[in-house]
Chains A and B, each alone.
Chain A
Amino acid sequence: MSDLLPSALDLARFQFAFTVVWHFLFPAFTIGLASYLAVLEGLWLWTDRGAYLDTYRYWLKIFAVAFAMGVVSGIVMSYQFGTNWSVFADKTSPVLGPLLGYEVLTAFFLEAGFLGVMLFGLGRVGPRLHFVATCFVAGGTLLSAFWILAANSWMQTPTGHATGADGQFIPESWLAIIFNPSFPYRFAHTVTAAYLTTAMIVGAVGAWHLLRDRMNERARIMFSMAMWMAAIVAPMQLLIGDLHGVNSYHHQPTKVAAMEGHFETERRAPSILFGMPDADAGVTRGQIAIPGFASLYLTHSLDGEVKGLKAFPKDTWPTNIPLVFWAFRIMVGLGMLMIALGVASLILRWRDNLYDSPWLHRFAVAMGPSGLVAVTAGWTVTEAGRQPFTVYGLLRTADSVAPIAAPAVAASLAAFVVVYFVVFGAGIAYLFHLFRQAPEAGEHGPPQGQPVRTAGITPAPGLVNRETHGAEPRQAGIRP
């Protein structure tokens, strides 16, 4: 009977997975959105076209909500290492601690400090300084990604350290630790994924409103910019992902074998499109495969030898191979659809039909959540594929967990599940409410008569004047 009850380790793993997946949904969206806001505000300053400011304000309200949820769920993460993974924390702290410390010092303070200016300061500091604040927030999100990915990549491909007393990792070369072998690929892959995630959401919202009013200028701006992003960056992502895969093959061969569903080592290794890996039997059943293709993209030779899982001790195999296998297919499949969307938009743009093709707009709406799903699937591949280690090849997950009792973890897990679904559920429902509102000329937020506050809702007097002399003077009258 006791075998049926999950252990403290299982519960701690599940709790980490649950909280980190929820958490990452928000930064995956806000990293891209912060840059998008900076571009919109820059375009507004450069062209003086009011529609850019409207679009900026529209997305700023959404950014404020998503960012708040990212911050509070992130604080939970920074404490969870200590509560649930204290042995891991103790052993890896000399290496990971300073990386996370730098994240706080360079990124979090920058984002949090200037977010206030971004949301409330437009009338207090003037448009140019406000633009600087937006850029600081956007830069902060990228710096944050830099450090957290350096830390994660080191856990995947650890270098630059020695092993000290008590099994601690002692830093030897900080350059080697930060710029570890998988870092450049992982950083590029993740930031690009975040940009695509934002592009899919912005594109879907733009398309949704174009389906209702294809003349809406703000919706056109959103849709057009998002489609440029899909057309240019989605194919780039395929290339980056391929390079990342080759890198993983060299440094984490068991992960790649699980992704590919390869148990046997072979030349002319097939690329298995679909199938069902069976770890106990050591075969992938029901394969639909392209012969030789895996050898081609992993070794860049049709004839190259690709190692299968059986080349490695079974106690180093990822613990959930079907999960890794299928999550990888979901990520790649969605990536292909994003490329298709981008290509379709290019063709229609060339034919001057970008804003008049309802089927494309419906496709874009359907693709709205694809970035978030793909990012979650991608992280599942990378994290589940790293098992059974927290520091690949060096520190086992089972040896990382805190000396905690299963009931304590179970109780806190239940609390997290309830609170996250209630709070973030309400937050996300509210985001959908915002998405459904058409981006208006003179965009300034909630209906009038509500208490004045937040997120660029109240236009600054200076801005009303500026726009009166701008390209679209008719908007000025709408403002209070």
Chain B
Amino acid sequence: MSIDLTLIWALLIATAVLLYVVMDGFDLGVGILFPAEAARAERDVMVNSVAPVWDGNETWLVLGGGGLFAVFPLAYATIFPALYMPLILMLLALVFRGVAFEMRFRARTSAGETWWDRAFSWGSFAAAFLQGVCLGAIVQGIRVEGRAYAGGWWDWLTPFSVLTGVALVVGYGLLGACWLIWKTDGALQARCRNYARVLGFATLGFIAVISLMMVIQSAAFRERWLTLPNMLYAAPVPVLLALLAWRFHRALAKGEDGMPFLCALGFFLLSYAGLGISMWPMIVPPSVTIWQAATHPSSQLFLLVGAAVLVPVILVYTGYVYWIFRGKVRHGEGYH
């Protein structure tokens, strides 16, 4: 039996993308919650809670994009032109936001402060929304002919992709709120519990609406989810989601610190698994599978050898860095 390199790579890149979504998700979420917290001191605590790790979080985005280029060039070369505008706008939003991280603490005028705060917050909103739009556009399908994108320049913009965009803003907001429940205390933490309650149920609502729209719109998705025996394999996803929603509600009611964040991660993991079930084995739906999009086996193998060694090492030291910065972030304390 030979090893299916492509399958391994598909799982690896899917993992990288998921890690990106949840990790940059919570730090984008902190920016999304900015408008709700107007006080400078609270905003400083919020940014301090992600300042040491955001850069590492964003690197998973580079690995997702770079990995696609390295291993699934056909997907890279067709998805990216198809999502030309939302991707470029997302990158520009990340530019604003990334520079604001360093600059907002150093602004010398109050106008400067306000504008760097806006750059951080609006950049976070825009990046989250546009990532959601990209996701929606991919799920809807991308027209490929030969080895190139064959659709129009506005194909990505549909009611469905706008909906997924809004959903991701809400979802990232939830991750941000739960992260802050974990990392802060006092009045800020109490308010974050309220945000998390609202955003949590909004997120679950969006998951339900989007799932429904997917099965209504696409016969392929219906077949995956609503016919036997597929239904039996797919059923654990909604069931687990319901259990998790109940646990999330309890965690907020009981005032637990870490559990809401874990539950929110669970929401994302299950939604992601649901997407995987819907799309498998397409990488560029509706027509390109992971095997058709894959690069030459020798390239896959060469990079896999390194990834097998390096990814565990990266996970270990990333975990170590998170551990170094463990504990609550408080007013006027920052990191020292």
Interface residues of A in 119-149 (CB under 8 A from B): 119-125
Name which of B188-196, B247-255, B311-319 contacts chain A. Answer: B311-319
Q: Which residues of A contact B307 (CB under 8 A)?
A: 101, 105
Does B131 make an interface contact (CB < 8 A)?
A: no
Looking at the assembled complex, report how far the CB atom of B51 sits from the nearest CB atom of chain A, in whole angstroms. Answer: 7
Q: For residue B327, give the distance in angstroms from its CB to the closest CB of chain A.
A: 10
Q: Complex formed: what's the CA distance from A403 to B85 in Å?
A: 14
**Does B103 make an interface contact (CB < 8 A)?**
yes
From A78-86, A203-211, A290-298, the one touching the partner chain is A78-86
Contact with A along B54-97 (1 / 0, CB 8 A): 01101101110111111101101111110011011101101110
- Judged by a CB distance under 8 angstroms, whether B211 is at the interface is no
Alpha-carbon separation in the docked complex, A323 to B56 (Å)? 39
In the complex, are the beta carbons of B335 and A121 less than 8 A apart? yes
A164 close to chain B: CB less than 8 A: yes
Name the distance in Å between B104's Cβ and chain A's nearest Cβ: 10
B70 to chain A, nearest CB (A): 3
State whether B302 touches A98 (Cβ < 8 A): yes
Contact at A408–B302, with CB atoms within 8 Å?
A: no
Docked-complex contact B153 and A408, CB < 8 angstroms: yes
> Are B324 and A117 closer than 8 Å at their CB atoms?
yes
Contacts A93-B299, A124-B324 known; A105 to B63 CB distance under 8 Å?
yes
Contact in complex: A104, B69 (CB < 8 Å): no
- A residues near B95, Cβ cutoff 8 Å: 72-73, 76, 419-420, 423
Question: Measured between alpha carbons, how far is A110 from B68 in the docked complex, in Å?
Answer: 20
Q: Do the beta carbons of B81 and A83 come within 8 Å of each other?
A: yes
A100–B56 CA distance with the chains assembled, in angstroms: 17
Instruction: Indicate with 1 or 0, residue by residue over B110-154, a CB within 8 angstroms of chain A CB atoms.
Output: 000000000100000000000000000000000000011100010
Q: Which of B33-71 contact A (CB under 8 A)?
A: 40-41, 44, 47-48, 51-53, 55-56, 58-59, 61-63, 65-71
A104 to B13, CA, bound (A): 13
Q: Which residues of B contact A6 (CB under 8 A)?
A: none
CB-CB < 8 A to A76: which residues of B?
A: 91, 95
When distances are taken between beta carbons in the complex, the residues of chain B under 8 Å from A424 are: 99
Q: How distant is the Cα of A245 from the Cα of B95 in the complex, in angstroms?
A: 36
* Residues in A whose Cβ lies below 8 Å from that of B266: none
Instruction: Kindly state whether residue B286 has any CB partner on chain A within 8 Å.
Output: no
**Is residue B102 contacting chain A, with contact meaning CB distance below 8 A?**
yes
**A 85-114 binary contact with B (CB < 8 Å = 1; else 0):** 011011001111110111111101110111
In the complex, are the beta carbons of A451 and B71 less than 8 A apart?
no
Is A458 located at the chain interface by the 8 A CB criterion? yes
- Given known A-B contacts A98-B303, A404-B81, A115 and B96 have beta carbons under 8 A apart: no
Tell whether B298 is near chain A: CB-to-CB under 8 Å.
Answer: yes
Q: For B99, give its contact among A72, A96, A121 (CB under 8 Å).
A: A72
B333 part of interface (Cβ distance < 8 Å): yes
Given contacts A83-B80, A86-B77, contact A109 B56 (CB under 8 A): yes
Segment at the B interface, from A45-53, A62-70, A230-238: A62-70
**Does B51 contact A451, Cβ atoms closer than 8 Å?**
no
- Which residue, A64, A76, A97, has most C-beta atoms of chain B within 10 A? A97
Given A114-B321, A403-B149, the answer on whether A68 and B99 have CB atoms closer than 8 Å is: yes
Residue from the set A90, A404, A446, A451 with the largest chain B CB neighbour count within 10 Å? A451
CB–CB A90/B73 < 8 A: yes
B162 smallest CB distance to A (angstroms): 20
**A174 in the interface (beta carbon within 8 A):** yes
Cross-chain contact of B80 among A69, A79, A117 (Cβ < 8 A): A79
On whether the beta carbons of A454 and B81 are closer than 8 Å, the reply is no
The residue from B84, B317, B335 contacting A453, defined by CB atoms under 8 A apart: B335
Provide the bound-state CA to CA distance between A234 and B44, in Å. 44
Contact across chains for A404 and B98 when beta carbons are under 8 A apart? no
A284–B230 alpha-carbon span in the complex (Å): 74
User: Cβ of B246 < 8 Å from any Cβ of A?
Assistant: no
Q: Which of A90, A97, A408, A453 contacts B71 (CB 8 A)?
A: A97
Asked whether any CB of chain B lies closer than 8 Å to the CB of A170, the reply is yes
Q: Which of A64, A121, A408, A455 is the one whose CB lies under 8 Å from B85? A: A408
B66 touches A101 (CB 8 A): yes
Q: Chain B contacts of A75 at CB under 8 A?
A: 58, 61-62, 65, 91, 94
User: B314: which A residues are within 8 A, CB to CB?
Assistant: 105, 109, 113
> Which A residue sits closest to B323, measured CB to CB?
A124
B303→A460 contact, CB < 8 A:
no
Which of B58, B80, B85 has most A Cβ within 10 Å? B80
Asked if A2 is at the interface (CB within 8 A of a chain B CB), the reply is no
Cβ contacts under 8 Å, A106 to chain B: 306, 310
- Assess whether A71 is interfacial by the CB under 8 Å rule: yes
B336 touches A100 (CB 8 A): no
Q: A125: which B residues are within 8 A, CB to CB?
A: 324
The answer to whether A82 touches B76 (Cβ under 8 A) is: yes
CB closest residue in chain B, given A455: B102
Are B148 and A113 touching (Cβ within 8 A)?
Answer: no
Distance (whole angstroms) from the CB of A198 to the closest CB of chain B: 19
Asked if B101 is an interface residue, CB under 8 A from chain A, the answer is: yes
- Distance in angstroms between the alpha carbons of A141 and B296 in the assembled complex: 29
Contact with B along A422-434 (1 / 0, CB 8 A): 0110110010010
A97 touches B98 (CB 8 A): no
Asked if A416 is at the interface (CB within 8 A of a chain B CB), the reply is yes
When distances are taken between beta carbons in the complex, the residues of chain A under 8 Å from B306 are 98, 101-102, 105-106
- A460:B336 contact, CB within 8 angstroms: yes
In the assembled complex, the Cα of A81 lies from the Cα of B84 at a distance in Å of 11
Q: A76-B95, A113-B318 are in contact. Are A94 and B148 (CB under 8 A)?
A: no
Nearest residue, chain B, Cβ from A415: B92
Answer whether residue A347 sits at the interface, using C-beta atoms and an 8 A cutoff. no
Q: How far is the CA of A430 from the CA of B116 in the complex (A)?
A: 13
Are B299 and A97 in contact, with the CB atoms below 8 A?
A: yes
Tell me the bound Cα distance from A95 to B98 in angstroms: 31
Q: Please determine whether B296 and A170 come into contact, CB atoms closer than 8 angstroms.
A: yes
7 further interface pairs, Cβ-Cβ under 8 Å (given A72-B94, A170-B296):
A97-B70, A101-B66, A101-B307, A113-B314, A116-B51, A403-B81, A457-B334
Contact residues of A with B, CB < 8 Å?
Answer: 64-65, 68-69, 71-76, 78-79, 81-83, 86-87, 89-90, 93-98, 100-106, 108-110, 112-117, 119-125, 164, 166, 168, 170-172, 174, 402-405, 408, 411-412, 415-416, 419-420, 423-424, 426-427, 430, 433, 446, 450-455, 457-460
Q: Which 5 A-B pairs have the closest CB atoms?
A: A82-B80, A97-B70, A116-B52, A93-B73, A120-B335
Q: List 14 A-B contacts (CB under 8 A).
A: A68-B98, A82-B69, A83-B81, A89-B76, A94-B299, A97-B295, A105-B311, A109-B56, A112-B59, A115-B55, A120-B52, A171-B299, A412-B85, A458-B335
